[in-house]
Structure 1
Amino acid sequence: MSPEALGTIILGLSTLAGLIYSLSKLVSEPINKLDKSVSAFTVQVEILSKNISKIEDDVKAQEAHDQESHARMWTKHNEHDSRLNEHEKRIGYLENRKEK
């Protein structure tokens, strides 16, 4: 092989190696940035999911508390309603007794 051909092959291989390196850098940098962005997004979604779960648990606990409170209030309301009815019956009895 002649020295010119050998030089041309070496020059061509060097250019090819440089082109491959440049293309790999050109492609790998955006992929690495995308990978970092996706990882950060995944972490944020996991944090958001945990926060939503906590809020759902808090809402369920508040609903249970509210149901218990409402049940107690309705029980008291019914007791007062019964006492009021009994009181009105007694007043009616007393009024009818005086009229006779």
Structure 2
Amino acid sequence: MRTPMATGLKLHKDLSGQSVESKLYRVDRKRIYGSCQFLAGKLVSWSSKKQNCVSTSNVEAEYVAATSCCLQALLMQTQLHDYGYTLDKIPILCDSKSAIAIYANLV
């Protein structure tokens, strides 16, 4: 399907149109991220929230989300330790190779 386009036309200010509330369409560039925590194959915790900091790229947003997931895992590890369970290694799964590369760079 073709979209007809007229060439040589100029845009003019629409004096008869209604004004738009700019606050409704303001972009804050904060991404929504989420994570799920499983214990013995069962979902025990999940979260979804808007970032409280602005990330400049998707990689940065994935990194922030994975960091939040790590903090939640450490909290769960502490709680389980209080109940007598010891978890030495907690796998954190991330679907972004670039975010994993940031974690692997120990500079």
Common topology (TM > 0.5):
no
- Hey, which of these two has a bigger chunk of helix by percent? 1
Bigger radius of gyration among the two: 1
TM-score (norm 1): 0.28
TM-score (norm 2): 0.26
- Hey, which of these two has a bigger chunk of strand by percent? 2
